[in-house]
Amino acid sequence: MTLTVLVTGASGLVGSEVVARLSGAGHTVFALMHANSEVVRNNGRRLKTLDWREAAPRGSVVRVNGDITKPRLGLSDHQYDALRTVDRVVHVAAVTTFGLPADTYERINIAGTEQVLEFASRTTSSPIPLVHVSTAYVCGERIGVVGEDELDAGQRFGTAYERSKFVAEQSVHRAAGNGLPVVVVRPSIVVGTERNGVIRDFKNIYVVLKAFTEGRVRSVAGNYDATLDLVPVDYVAELISQAVVRFEDAVGRTFHAVGAQEHNLLDFSNVLAEYPSFHVPRFVSPASFSTARMPLGERAYYERVVALYESYFRRSVTFDATAAKVFMPRRPTVRGLPFLRRLLNHGLRTGYLGAPQQSIDSVLGLLDAREAR
Amino acid sequence: MILDEQYLQWLLDQTLAVVDVPSGAGVVLEGSIAEGFGNASSDIDLLLLYDDEHEYPTMPSILFVDGRRVEVRTRSLRQAREQAELVTRLASRGGAGLPRIPVDLLNRCQRLSRSFPLRGHDVVDRAHRALPADQLPGIVAPWFAHHARQAMRQVVALDAMRQTVEAAAWTRIALTQAAKAWVAAHGETYVESKWLSQQFDRIGEDSAEFAERYWSLTRKGTDDGTMRPGTTQQSARVMAAAELVDDFGVAGCTADSGMIDVIGTPAVTTWAIGTQLHVIRDRRDVFVLSPQAAAVWRSVVAPMPLNDLLRCGGSDPAVVGAIVAEFYRIGLLRLRWRNGAAITIAQPYGAEQPSTPIPSTSLPILGIHGAVRPDDDPPIVALLPLPAQRFAAAGMAHVWSNIMVDNAREDLTGAQANQQWRVAETAGRRMLISACRALLSAYGVSPLPPDSGLIPRLGQLRVIPDELAKAADAIDDSITSADSPASVAAVANSLDEFIRRVREGTGASLFPASFTSADAWDRTIQIGHDWIRVGAYLDSDFPIEEARDVFTTGGVQPHLSGATDVHRA
């Protein structure tokens, strides 16, 4: 059976791969995104898309210009009503960059999700099955094993991003309680593909790695046994796509989309040391870490880039993924240093890592520009 | 042959009179004389072929008959068959199999295949059928071509690195392997190189020009590495050698260092301690890099073109070349022909790279900033004389002991001020013990002896200056009896002087006074973390659990609240 699917955040890193997989399997995808956006796959290839139309051939991707932060998703009444006939909604759209103003997360991640829930819930007939893409880090700063069926454990959050995704997931669960069929997929930290580390956008953890390896930041508050879970983008997209297609097998479940095995900071320290040009940061216990005596340039980098991720360097968390494994037995298999090498080697191949060093001013200028946007 | 068969049979009879050979065994003459080479002093190489399944050793028996050295080896037909099958199978896999044929095995098979039967012709025929002589050129020629190609690539790389003498030596090796490939392709398959001139001669007129060019280029000349006009990377001699190697039929090794990439080596890691850069090979060997070498090493972004690395930082290519060549020799990085496999150092009968330099004899071995580099004639890369895990453990103990010296000194000062003589005794002894620990760990002693054995151990080690050992002994005696302001002050002065000399001798004179300011404490903790980083990689032992606590809890001090500055009146 072929499906029609509305995908929010269709131009994003995960969204574009979900669109590609669904359309590649013959499903018709309505790709909700900002005006003038394109659907560019993780490998840089642009997907062929069609202008807005109500009906489209199997396997096609129809561009829908919209905005989840606006009432009725920023669509015309006609489009809104027409799209409510889709078979599935996949809600990927979110802001994942750290360090933005709190209201940005409120507006996009929380209120945006509410808009999508309203879209999926209030149909004249039955509600539209929804696959909601959350994050494994809705667990906040919990340590130990976190189950897929756990959400509110009174946790503290390391970032406003995590908190916003937590609140959004609570909304999703409320909607599910009111009869909306829902599957929640929680990716951990999304990185390059399992096979060769390819990634379209060097964001989030990559920015931190760049600051470390270029020696911009020499010391960081963290524990060697803290763990980070890195998940290949292709696995995440495949799990979401499977949840869409095999919705009946998944409904009501939450899946942790996580890597083959979490990495601890010692893994990062050891693998960075394999690259002659890379600097390896010192992980200093958060107990008394202070940026006060850092050189000015290093402190600027630390506070503007690394500090946003600091809480990740002191947590030791393992995400249980039993339900995800049962639902889709194919799991990432490359673990440990070999996987980190693939990610770093791709960064080197593309020149993102190991490139001539930019001046501090230019990098901070870029960050300012991003925040202004 | 230079010897007639009748004489050979007589030699065999004489040999069999002292060598026990079962009836039915085959006997062949192999090697130089069987090939038609040799001279009056050439050995007689006899091989006994037994029609059985046993595994006979390759070691020959050596006799002297009629003034000639006779070497007698033994092989079963099963061994002969299996050896021939292995060589044939590996050769059939081309580039993937040829490097895996050891020269000894190839030589053994070639010699048997081209041997002259003396006894037991039936057995000998069966041995010959395992690897007929007419198949030898198809195996021996590509085998030599593989080695020639690798050697010539090595030449191109070393030449680009301005390693003129080494490149010249490898040029001779590359040319000889290429010549051997060429003569083998013309039916001259004898493996060793000593009869190459006669092999050229037997091929006839076709070989004259090749032979002349070969002998001309392999003669030790006055190659000064002059660059050929119009090129920047390769010397004229190397260009000529590469042309001849190519004419010998060995492709894939043109004199173009632009074809060579630098690639990384597994299990080679880089560790900065303070301002010093260390490279650890195979989690075992620690190398400390000179500042120039460290700058070049930091420029390696593998894979990268060799020429780019040689141009790094706009430095003198000869200086950078010498550094890169040393990295390559000791296996810190590898080279790869563009789109090919890593260049393997494939000199028949030669040692394989990576090599290992002579370990440094500098003493002490380490200080707070890592390895101590030799002062006089410092090498580009110095190998430390202790294994990596012990280096890291000793380094952590050294830093920790220095911290404990300062800690104890603070306690001693407090006890003096309050006239607490027994507290002062304990603090003073802790200061002395910690200083001795710092001293011994700087010499690579790890694990350290128990506290009770530290001071006696100083006296036993000839590398520790005698006056230091005696001073430690004297302070140890005087601490117990110090029970007045004057005597405790005298002990404290002796301790300060002892510690000054220990730190001066171990390069720790600038050890941050870790208990006097938060900045200094920060620097101490940073050095400690540099050591921990490498210690964690190697899973080395922490000096004591308390050290682990200090380092891993960020260094909250026992008497200061966090890292807050405390100003004294």
HSE of A12, CA atoms in CB hemisphere, 13 A: 22
Residue of chain B nearest A341, judged by CA positions: B266
Residues of B in contact with A277 (CB under 8 A): 298-301
Token pair of B434 as six digits: 């910690």
Distance CA A99, CA A242 (A): 32
Instruction: Report the percent of chain A where pLDDT is more than 90.
Output: 81
For position B394, what pLDDT does the model report?
A: 95
Distance from CA of A337 to the nearest CA of B (A): 12
**How many interchain CB pairs under 8 A, A with B?**
78
d(C-alpha B541, C-alpha B414), whole Å: 32
The C-alpha torsion from B194 through B197 and B201 to B207, rounded to 10°, is 120
Three-state DSSP state, B334: strand
Q: Is the preceding omega at residue B447 within 30 degrees of 0, hence cis?
A: yes
Residue B352 DSSP one-character state: P
- Dihedral angle, C-alpha B315, B317, B323, B329, nearest 10 °: 160
pLDDT for position A178: 94
Q: Rounded CA gap, A181 and A249, in Å?
A: 12
Q: Which residues from A are below 8 Å from B530, CB to CB?
A: 282
What are the residues whose beta carbons fall under 8 Å from the beta carbon of B32, sequence distance 6 or more?
Answer: B38, B42, B43, B45, B190, B194, B195
Query: Does residue B517 carry a pLDDT above 70?
Result: no
From the list A270, A276, A284, which residue is nearest B554 (CB)?
Answer: A284
pLDDT over 50 (residue A358): no
Residue pair B69/B43 in contact by the 8 Å Cβ criterion: yes
Which residues share a beta bridge with B273?
A: B276
What is the per-residue pLDDT for A324? 98
pLDDT of residue B87: 97
Q: How far is B526 from chain A (nearest CA, A)?
A: 8
Distance, CA of A69 to CA of A77 (rounded, Å): 16
Phi-psi map region of B339: left, alpha, beta (phi>0 left; psi -120 to 50 alpha): left
| Residues of chain A positioned with their CB less than 8 A from the CB of B555 | 285, 288
In chain B, what percentage of residues exceed pLDDT 70? 88
* Per-residue confidence (pLDDT) for residue B228, from 0 to 100: 46
The mean pLDDT of chain A is 92
Q: Containing H/E element for B381?
A: strand B381-383
Q: For residue B81, is pLDDT > 50? A: yes
pLDDT computed for residue A356 by the predictor: 47
Residue B562 pLDDT more than 50?
Answer: no
Token pair belonging to B93:
């896999």
Tokens of A141: 């700063």
Nearest CA in chain B to A347: B301
Centroid of chain to Cα B235: 28
* A182 phi and psi angles, rounded to 5 deg: -135, 145
Residue B1 predicted with pLDDT over 60: yes
Rounded to the nearest integer, the mean pLDDT of chain B is 87
**pLDDT tens-digit map of A336-350:** 999 999 999 999 999
Q: Which range in A256-265, B39-48, B499-508 is most confidently predicted, on average pLDDT?
A: A256-265
Chain B residue with minimum CA distance to A276: B298
Please judge whether A273 and B554 are an interchain contact, meaning their C-beta atoms are less than 8 angstroms apart.
no
The answer on pLDDT for B94 being more than 70 is: yes
Q: What does the pLDDT read at residue B222?
A: 46
Confidence of residue B544 (pLDDT cuts 50, 70, 90): low
From chain A, pick out residues whose CB is under 8 angstroms from the CB of B522: 293
First to last CA, chain A: 42
Exposure string over B435-468, b if 16+ CB within 10 A, otherwise e: bbbbbbbbbbbbebeeeeebbebbeeeeebeeeb
Mean of pLDDT values over A70-77: 96
CA dist., res. B231 & res. B242, Å (int): 14
What residues of chain B lie within 8 A of the CB of A276, using their CB?
Answer: 264, 270, 279, 297-302, 333
Interface list for chain B against chain A, based on CB atoms closer than 8 Å: 264, 268-272, 279, 297-302, 333, 518-519, 522, 525-526, 529-530, 532-533, 536-537, 552-556, 562-563
Coil, helix or strand at residue A275: coil
Select the residue of A275, A288, A354 nearest B563 (Cβ to Cβ).
A288
Is A22's pLDDT higher than 70?
Answer: yes
Per-residue 3-state assignment (H helix, E strand, C coil) for A226-270: CEECEEEHHHHHHHHHHHHHCHHHHCCCEEEECCCCCEEHHHHHH
User: Two tokens at B129?
Assistant: 């059928």
